[in-house]
């Protein structure tokens, strides 16, 4: 039951010159499922990526990092069903074989291919079935393939996630289109499993490398569903250079506008993941200001977003707001700089676009607070928790969802 998240419309997803996508059925884990996606990039495309910080980082993530370092990426291949994580040396072999098979089909070197996997951890990737499924994907390659690809990379997602924009920057038209998947095991750290955003702008490699990190920090790295950073998180930014907009340095006219436009697409995808969080009935934005650093602000945001007690209270629409204070008080576990947090200076508001209720100040309940106002503020499907720490000028946001019976159901039943 995603929160205010509409399925993408095929005709609203703009093709990006230089990108073709094709999907197929490989029977990776179950039959009759589109579980394999091939993305082909035009010569001269530049690619940058950020990946999970999980120490059990998946085999395809390790291969991606190697191949990105070599440069000149021309294809991406994505399977669902099996994550190829916790698979040791055989897992690395399987990812290499996958790249070799794609390279043979498209007349590339294996290190020009980036592999991605998502699904169950600790089970071997059936690489023969994957390879057998590739020719169908190749046959289906088309510039308008984004819509089908957005569906083919889903696992426990209930809605496909895609976003697209056409903007004019420094007088040149720029197209940006992206897809993402993810609903559980979501607390990206550097990236999420999986986000792919492409633009036809021409962006110099050092700038693209920087851009992918900056965009991730403002989008995927602000989302959490359950606090579990996946083994396979990957966010990839593609600049095909097939359009006319060129960005060789940060002084290039329109660079900030481009960054804003790419961030906007990525943020829409990232928020879609929280809106479609497993079992979600509410979408929650946690906006923390008055911090000494952005890290502090996000540490407080994550402490609130990861508290099962806060999340279940939102599911119940119960203004049991002491749980939010409790979570804030524990945030120093995320950032030791918060050990000297003075709770007397903290203010907490609860609200939505229309109304905002001051819940707490001076270390306790606000004098003006009325239970009825709190109860009313808990009703909407989209709620903002605003926290002012009163100790600095930095701020940060975290997006999450509530914690429902269905979260337990989905995760107790997954695999079966």
Q: Which of 45, 221, 230, 384 binds a copy of itself (CB under 8 A)?
A: 230
Q: Which of residues 362-401 bind a copy of itself (CB under 8 A)?
A: 362-365
| Alpha carbon separation from 271 to 274, 355, 389 (Å, rounded) | 5, 22, 24
Q: Which of residues 300-359 bind a copy of itself (CB under 8 A)?
A: 306-309, 312-313, 315-316, 318, 320-323, 325-333, 338-339, 341, 343-344, 359
User: Closest Cα partner for 150 from 178, 130, 129?
Assistant: 178
Dmax over Cα atoms in the chain, in whole Å?
70
Q: CB nearer to a copy of itself: give 253 or 329.
A: 329
Q: How far apart are CA 121 and CA 58, in angstroms?
A: 9
Strands 234-239 and 356-361: unpaired
Q: CB nearer to a copy of itself: give 120 or 212.
A: 120
Output the smallest distance, CB 321 to a copy of itself, in A. Answer: 6
Q: CB nearer to a copy of itself: give 353 or 413.
A: 413
Determine phi and psi for 334, rounding to 5 degrees: -85, -30
Catalytic one of 192, 199, 240, 268: 192
Give Cβ neighbours of residue 124 (< 8 Å, ≥ 6 apart).
82, 84, 87, 90, 91, 94
* Residue 403 near a copy of itself by CB under 8 A: yes
Q: How far apart are CA 307 and CA 315, in angstroms?
A: 13
Applying CB under 8 A, what is the total number of residues that bind a copy of itself?
Answer: 72
192 part of the active site: yes
* Residue 1 near a copy of itself by CB under 8 A: no
Q: How many CB atoms lie within 10 A of CB 296?
A: 25
Q: Which stretch binds a copy of itself (CB under 8 A): 32-40, 108-116, 193-201, 220-228?
A: 220-228
Q: Which of residues 74-133 bind a copy of itself (CB under 8 A)?
A: 83, 85-91, 120-124
User: Closest Cα partner for 113 from 73, 171, 54?
Assistant: 73
Q: CB nearer to a copy of itself: give 284 or 327.
A: 327
Output the smallest distance, CB 58 to a copy of itself, in A. Answer: 10
* Residue 209 near a copy of itself by CB under 8 A: no
Residues taking part in catalysis: 192
């Amino acid at each position: 039951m995603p929160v205010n998240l509409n399925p993408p419309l095929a005709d609203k997803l703009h093709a990006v010159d230089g990108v073709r996508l094709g999907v197929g059925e490989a029977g990776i884990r179950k039959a009759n499922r589109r579980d394999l996606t091939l993305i082909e990039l035009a010569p001269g495309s530049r690619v940058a990526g950020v990946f999970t910080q999980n120490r059990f980082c998946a085999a395809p993530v390790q291969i991606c990092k190697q191949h990105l370092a070599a440069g000149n990426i021309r294809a991406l291949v994505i399977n669902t069903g099996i994550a190829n994580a916790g698979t040791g040396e055989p897992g690395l072999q399987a990812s290499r074989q996958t790249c070799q098979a794609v390279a043979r089909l498209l007349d590339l070197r294996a290190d020009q291919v980036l592999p991605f996997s998502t699904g169950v951890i600790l089970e071997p990737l059936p690489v023969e079935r994957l390879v057998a499924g590739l020719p169908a994907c190749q046959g289906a390659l088309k510039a308008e393939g984004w819509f089908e690809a957005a569906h083919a990379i889903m696992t426990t997602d209930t809605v496909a996630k895609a976003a697209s924009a056409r903007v004019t920057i420094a007088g040149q038209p720029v197209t940006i289109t992206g897809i993402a998947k993810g609903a559980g095991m979501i607390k990206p750290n550097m990236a999420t499993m999986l986000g792919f955003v492409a633009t036809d702008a021409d962006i110099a490699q050092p700038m693209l490398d920087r851009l992918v990190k900056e965009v991730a920090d403002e989008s995927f790295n602000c989302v959490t569903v359950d606090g579990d950073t996946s083994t396979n998180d990957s966010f990839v930014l593609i600049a095909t250079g097939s359009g006319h907009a060129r960005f060789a340095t940060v002084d290039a006219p329109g660079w900030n506008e481009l960054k804003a436009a790419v961030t906007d697409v990525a943020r829409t995808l990232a928020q879609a993941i929280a809106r479609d969080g497993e079992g979600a009935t509410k979408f929650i934005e946690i906006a923390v200001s008055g911090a000494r650093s952005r890290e502090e602000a996000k540490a407080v945001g994550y402490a609130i977003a990861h508290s099962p007690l806060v999340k279940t209270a939102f599911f119940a629409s119960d203004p049991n707001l002491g749980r939010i204070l409790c979570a804030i008080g524990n945030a120093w576990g995320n950032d030791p700089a918060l050990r000297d947090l003075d709770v007397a200076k903290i203010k907490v508001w609860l609200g939505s676009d229309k109304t905002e209720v001051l819940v707490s100040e001076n270390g306790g309940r606000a004098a003006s607070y009325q239970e009825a106002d709190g109860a009313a503020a808990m009703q909407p499907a989209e709620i903002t928790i605003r926290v002012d720490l009163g100790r600095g000028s930095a701020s940060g946001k975290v997006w999450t969802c509530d914690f429902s019976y269905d979260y337990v159901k989905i995760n107790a039943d997954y695999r079966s």
